Amino acid sequence: MYKIYGIKNCETMKKAFDWLTENNIPYEFHDYKKSGISEAKIQEWLTQKPWDVLINRAGTTWKKLSDDEKSTDETGAIKLMIEKPSMIKRPIIENENIKVMGFNSDIYEQIFK
């Protein structure tokens, strides 16, 4: 079973949910807004991708930050992602072997089929 992380009202998440459902891929949803995200989970993801890739710079949460808040390091980025989890890139899909970030139907086709 896969676990998909993100927020429910996101167009990219809706594309990922639809793709997974259409392709009969079972998943469990973790909603950042309702359940938050732990520092340990973010640290785990940071072993795969750097913090500046993990942050969704295209989203309104990031764009609303002041320039001082944006000029951060990994420690500051972790704190921001815990406080404002909607600024984490989404979706993130994982199981014990696979971690996929973002939505791309071609990549999903290669990974999940």
Name the residues annotated as catalytic.
10
SS3 (DSSP) at 90: coil
Q: Which residues pair with 94 in a beta bridge?
A: 3, 99
List Cβ neighbours of 95 (8 Å cut-off, separation of 6 or more): 1, 2, 3
List Cβ neighbours of 40 (8 Å cut-off, separation of 6 or more): none
